[in-house]
Amino acid sequence: VFGAKWQELYNEIVSMRAACGEAHLKVILGTGDLATLRNVMLASMVAMMAGADFIKTSTGKESVNATLPVGLAMVRA
């Protein structure tokens, strides 16, 4: 989420949730691109508030992937 476009993220996930119907929605967060633990926590909260059934970190596309501090930020959200 670049430029703190949290409302746009929320709206996009709500749309995906509606498109999923009865299926589970997993949101994969590119935590390596979120820059701060605060952003990781906010993205996690927004995803869950928008209806994600699961959230997880990306583990292969970014230069920095899942780390213990990132995991803790997601769990605390």
| Grouped pLDDT means (10 residues each) for the chain, 77 residues | 85 97 95 90 97 90 83 93
Its pTM stands at: 0.88
pLDDT at 44: 97
pLDDT on residue 14: 98
Rounded to 5 degrees, what are φ and ψ at 33? -95, -5
Would you state the pLDDT for residue 22?
94
Q: Strands 26-29 and 54-57: what pairing? A: parallel
Q: What's the rounded Cα separation, in Å, for the pair 48 and 55? A: 8
Q: How many Å from the N-terminal Cα to the C-terminal Cα in the chain?
A: 16
Contact present, 10 and 45 (Cβ < 8 Å): no
Q: What is the DSSP letter of 1?
A: -
